[in-house]
Chain A
Amino acid sequence: MLEVQDVVTSYGMIQALKGVSLAARTGEVTCILGPNGAGKTTLLYTIAGILRPRSGSVRFEGRELAGVPADQVVRRGISLVPENRLVFAHMTVRENLLAGAYARLGRDGGGVKVDLEAMLERFPILRQRAGQAAGTLSGGEQQMLAVARALMARPRLLMMDEPSLGLAPMIVEQIFEIVAALNREGITVLLVEQNARLALSIAHHAYLLEQGRIAFRGTPSEVSANEAISRAYLGIKRG
């Protein structure tokens, strides 16, 4: 569904991605592990069109995405739940959800209404808070809102950047259950996550990104079987 080929992305003089290739297959959860500063967010931002790759290609459903402006990428069927959620803090929960459907509002007003109701059904806490400013929500509630807002665009590929960041373990598990459920419903997921153990528990494929390069790729069990990786990222000590 998504093929990233030899992508190089730089900020000024600094090369954040030094030729990254990966694929997210239809219907799967693909996760990207790696330490801070490895380029994980840069990679998602490059796919989302916020950053432009210096070279390489990003193909989605067979069409080239590299160079497509960010506000058009969402119209191609890709939504990003950004790191730190970035909900519209001064707007109500309902306004946030409608903003998520911005690209559809003109064409598909009826569908948006149906989806809004479906989101409030799926996330009952959001219905309770529908008229409240999003900034007054707890971290976990904001993360649910960010996911629901991204879903309002009806993406075929959902990208998530560190959904567990700053959340209590119980909430994190809830978020991951939601991601797994969305995936079962047919949404392809590309997940960047520090919590490797949890990410691997729902992933079909995993990539390890280190210093702007893919250092390892495999299935979750292959990742766990690799001693160096499990020691560094899963905290498993052997011997």
Chain B
Amino acid sequence: MVDFLQALVDGVMLGATYSLLGLGFTLIFGVLRRLNLAFGPTILVGIYAGSHLSLAWPGALVPVVAVTVAGALLAGVYVERFSFRALARQAPVVSMISTFAVWMQLQELVSLLSPSRTMPYPSPVWLPAVAVGPILLRSDGLLMWSGATLIMLALFALLYRTRFGTTIRAVADSSEAATLMGVNVAMVGAAAFLVASAVGGLAGVLIAQSHQQVTPYFGLWATVKGMTAMLLGGAGSLPGAVVGGLALGVVETQTLWHFGGQWRDLVSYALLFLVVALSPRTRWGSGL
């Protein structure tokens, strides 16, 4: 029972960051109706930028966070410009292939510009784990959970409480109708892309401080986690992406505790397969 609870708590703390990745994916997919495989790699660029800064300027936590987010934003602008805006008139699959090419570019770029494949990433807190009864709450996990929760609250407030957010949701719902209302859909798409990249960058900070290191394969990892969270949540639903991320985190940590680390990814992909195969009404991208 204690094992189960411990794994559950760990899973929720981990899953909150998956939810963030899933939200970023969902925003882009929902508004542009195109899959951005390079979402993880844009975050990778941010984390490497933050890592370089932390090596040059040890102890500068706020600048490292800022540079990480800025790096992800910059890479996001690059992806939006070349894989989406430039290809807006092409079939969606063309954008997807293009994001795959950009992914490889970004992965090679960070490898070439870094002294080693594995780069360190600073953790802002060095607190001991907190014990709540028999459950241990690790400080990096607490930071992931609280940070992700704050970012999600801010994002949901932006999307559901502001005019800008309403416009984004309108475009996701029907870009044709939004155009008829006078919305410049291309501009809203670019703005949603930037919001997603910023959320991705912040998720990157939270994850990298927990891993305390990063390799060029982080891009693949983040794309897989984000896409899985999005698909588990029904592909196109923002609350769904949150639930999907949490579910993924919990399944991973439960598998880890009860069956061992080698089963962790296999079980989460099996879950994804089951959800996609068994939900004929999965709302493939209709509104947020």
| A209 part of interface (Cβ distance < 8 Å) | no
The yes or no answer to A233 lying at the interface (CB within 8 A) is: no
What per-residue 1/0 map shows which CB atoms of B105-146 lie under 8 Å from chain A?
000000000000000000000000000000000000000000
The reply to whether A79 and B173 contact each other, CB–CB distance below 8 Å, is no
- Does A70 lie at the interface of the complex (its beta carbon under 8 Å from any beta carbon of B)? yes
CB distance from B100 to the nearest CB of A (A): 27
Indicate which residue in A75, A79, A105, A153 contacts B163 across the interface (CB closer than 8 Å): A105
- On whether the beta carbons of B181 and A89 are closer than 8 Å, the reply is no
Distance to closest chain A CB from B30 (angstroms): 10
In Å, the complex CA distance between A218 and B31 comes to 44
Number of interface residues, chain B, beta carbon within 8 A: 21
**Which of A48, A75, A86, A87: most chain B Cβ within 10 A?**
A86
The one of A80, A89, A90, A98 that contacts B180, using a Cβ cutoff of 8 Å: A80
Closest B residue to A88 by CB, please name it.
B173
Selected contact of B169 from candidates A48, A69, A88, A100, CB within 8 Å: A88
Binds A, one of B41-49, B182-190, B198-206: B182-190
Closest chain B residue, CB of each to CB of A96: B170
Q: Which residues of B contact A90 (CB under 8 A)?
A: 169, 172-173, 286-288
| B170 and A71 contact, CB distance less than 8 A | no
- With A72-B182, A88-B177, A89-B173 as contacts: A99 and B166 at CB distance below 8 Å: yes
Bound Cα distance from A75 to B180, whole angstroms? 10
Bound Cα distance from A90 to B239, whole angstroms: 13
Against B, the Cβ 8 Å flags (1 = close, 0 = not) of A22-54 are 000000000000000000000000001010000
User: CA separation between A79 and B185, bound complex, in Å?
Assistant: 17
**Using Cβ atoms and an 8 Å threshold, which residues of chain B touch A50?**
176, 179-180
Interface residues on A, range: 20 to 34
Asked whether A102 is an interface residue with its Cβ less than 8 Å from the other chain, the reply is yes
Q: A50-B176, A88-B173 in contact; A74/B163 too (CB < 8 A)?
A: no
B282 within 8 Å of A (CB atoms): no
Contact between A79 and B180, CB atoms less than 8 A apart: yes
B178 CB–A CB distance under 8 Å? yes
CB-CB under 8 A from A86, the residues of chain B are 174, 176-177, 180
* CA gap between A98 and B167 in the complex, in Å: 10
CB distance from A76 to the nearest CB of B (A): 10
A153→B182 contact, CB < 8 A: yes
- The answer to the question of A210 belonging to the interface, with a C-beta cut-off of 8 Å to chain B, is no
Question: Does A82 contact B177, Cβ atoms closer than 8 Å?
Answer: yes
A residues with a Cβ closer than 8 A to B are: 48, 50, 69-72, 74-75, 79-80, 82, 86-91, 95, 98-100, 102-103, 105, 149-150, 153
5 more CB-based (< 8 A) A-B contacts, given A71-B185, A82-B177, A87-B177? A86-B176, A88-B173, A90-B286, A91-B169, A95-B169
27 contacts between A and B (CB under 8 A): A48-B180, A50-B176, A70-B179, A71-B185, A72-B182, A74-B181, A75-B182, A79-B180, A88-B169, A88-B170, A88-B174, A88-B177, A90-B172, A90-B173, A90-B286, A95-B166, A95-B169, A95-B170, A98-B166, A99-B181, A100-B181, A102-B178, A102-B181, A102-B182, A149-B181, A150-B180, A153-B182
